[in-house]
């Protein structure tokens, strides 16, 4: 089987990335990506631009999004791939999911001011590309600029996360709702970066079994935040639960993201890639307008 350079997870400045959808497409092309999906958090506003830019460069495209979900008091991310970006129920669900972000951001700023970090709401807003989508990442970028921490990873180690200043608990979408919005829009639902969650074994089992019961079909095995051990572990999970496997960098920004677009290990050959089940949903480039450099 031909090993496809598929990158099915990344973010533009329509959510918390720093590049435009067009610049991401150009970067994906330069890195030899053959099948791409832009998966902005809780938002589809970049989809048409990403698709058009990808097809013009000769890259096949799958419409995508990454939905914020609350499951057993933790935030879990569910990726939808191959969705119809005009689906009314999906659009309404995403609008409701991102609805509380401004209020949450104001509370985060108030908490940070209490520990001596002022003006973070205004500061974060200067990094926001989409006023509907102010995220912790924008706070982190401003706090680096303000000299509070040396890089965004250290912001998340010391602030904005559970148990640290500036963390504001938030109720995101329900797991079953997110999966149904994706499936109803013709897509496949995928559990994003499972190694990042802090569930007990029983809670993780509940996540996977409930996800499947609601119609979820995939899990991210190879992704920017997974170690080799995580890949091995979740390849096994995919086989145990009969799930399709996905591959995506979770690229956000040059210099900030650990993983470059398309620069990931291949999926283990024992797994069924999620794109096999989505062949009918891929927007195909008519014929490469420019040839991609050979992937290394
Ligand atoms: P939000 O949706 O506002 O809660 O922000 C979540 C985003 O913050 C994620 O999508 C990541 O881009 C970023 N993030 C969360 N935790 C970390 C972390 N530990 N290190 C770096 N980025 C993180
Ligand atoms: Mn993000
Ligand atoms: Mn995520
Ligand atoms: Mn992501």
Query: What distance in angstroms lies between residue 10's CA and the mean position of ligand 2's atoms?
Result: 8
Q: Which atom of ligand 1 is nearest to the CA of 137?
A: 8
Nearest ligand for residue 9 CA: 4
DSSP string computed for 92-144: HHHHHHHTTHHHHHHHHHHHHHHTT---HHHHHHTT-SSTT---HHHHHHHHH
The predicted structure's pLDDT at residue 295: 44
DSSP string computed for 77-102: EEEEES--TT-HHHHHHHHHHHTTHH
Query: Closest residue (by CA) to atom 14 of ligand 1?
Result: 137
The predicted structure's pLDDT at residue 223: 98
In whole angstroms, give the CA distance from residue 272 to residue 244.
5
Residues lining ligand 1, judged by CB closer than 6 Å? 16, 41, 68, 135-137, 152-153, 156, 252
Query: What distance in angstroms lies between residue 228's CA and the mean position of ligand 4's atoms?
Result: 19
The predicted structure's pLDDT at residue 287: 66
Instruction: List, as ranges, residues with CB under 5 A of the ion ligand 4.
Output: 66, 250
Query: Closest residue (by CA) to atom 18 of ligand 1?
Result: 156
The predicted structure's pLDDT at residue 294: 47
For the beta carbon of residue 72, count every other beta carbon within 10 angstroms: 15
Query: What distance in angstroms lies between residue 9's CA and the mean position of ligand 4's atoms?
Result: 6
pLDDT block averages, 10 residues each, the chain of length 296: 87 98 98 98 98 98 98 98 98 97 98 98 98 97 98 98 97 98 99 98 98 99 98 98 98 94 97 98 78 47
Nearest ligand for residue 173 CA: 1
SS3 (DSSP) at 67: strand
> If we measure between CA atoms, which residue out of 4, 3, 7 comes closest to residue 259?
7
Query: Closest residue (by CA) to atom 8 of ligand 1?
Result: 137
The edge-to-edge listing of strands for the beta sheet with 218-223 is 64-71, 74-81, 188-191, 218-223, 244-248
The predicted structure's pLDDT at residue 2: 58
Q: Which atom of ligand 1 is nearest to the CA of 170?
A: 4
Q: State the pairing for strand pair 74-81/64-71.
A: antiparallel
Query: Closest residue (by CA) to atom 3 of ligand 1?
Result: 135
- Single pTM value for the model: 0.96
Query: What distance in angstroms lies between residue 282's CA and the mean position of ligand 1's atoms?
Result: 28
In whole angstroms, give the CA distance from residue 189 to residue 93.
15
């Amino acid at each position: 089987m031909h090993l496809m350079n598929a990158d099915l997870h990344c973010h533009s400045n329509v959510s918390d990335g720093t590049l435009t959808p067009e610049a991401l497409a150009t970067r994906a092309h330069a890195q030899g990506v053959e099948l791409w999906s832009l998966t902005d958090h809780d938002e589809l506003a970049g989809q048409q631009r990403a698709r058009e830019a990808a097809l013009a460069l000769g890259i096949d495209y799958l419409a995508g999004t990454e939905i914020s979900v609350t499951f057993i008091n933790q935030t879990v991310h569910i990726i939808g791939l191959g969705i119809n970006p005009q689906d009314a129920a999906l659009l309404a669900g995403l609008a409701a999911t991102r609805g509380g972000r401004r209020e949450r951001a104001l509370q985060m700023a108030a908490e940070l001011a209490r520990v001596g970090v002022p003006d973070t709401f205004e500061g974060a807003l200067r990094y926001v590309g989409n006023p509907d989508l102010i995220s912790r990442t924008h706070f982190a970028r401003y706090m680096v600029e303000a000299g509070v921490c040396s890089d965004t990873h250290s912001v998340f180690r010391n602030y904005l996360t559970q148990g640290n200043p500036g963390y504001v608990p938030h109720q995101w979408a329900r797991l079953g709702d997110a999966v149904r919005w994706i499936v109803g829009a013709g897509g496949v639902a995928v559990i994003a970066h499972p190694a990042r969650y802090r569930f007990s074994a029983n809670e993780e089992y509940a996540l996977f079994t409930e996800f499947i019961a609601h119609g979820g079909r995939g899990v991210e095995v190879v992704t920017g935040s997974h170690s080799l051990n995580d890949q091995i572990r979740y390849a096994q999970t995919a086989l145990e639960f009969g799930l399709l496997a996905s591959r995506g960098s979770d690229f956000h920004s040059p210099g900030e993201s650990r993983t470059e677009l398309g620069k990931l290990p291949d999926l283990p050959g024992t797994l069924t890639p999620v794109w096999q089940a989505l062949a009918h949903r891929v927007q195909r480039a008519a014929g490469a307008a420019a040839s991609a450099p050979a992937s290394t």
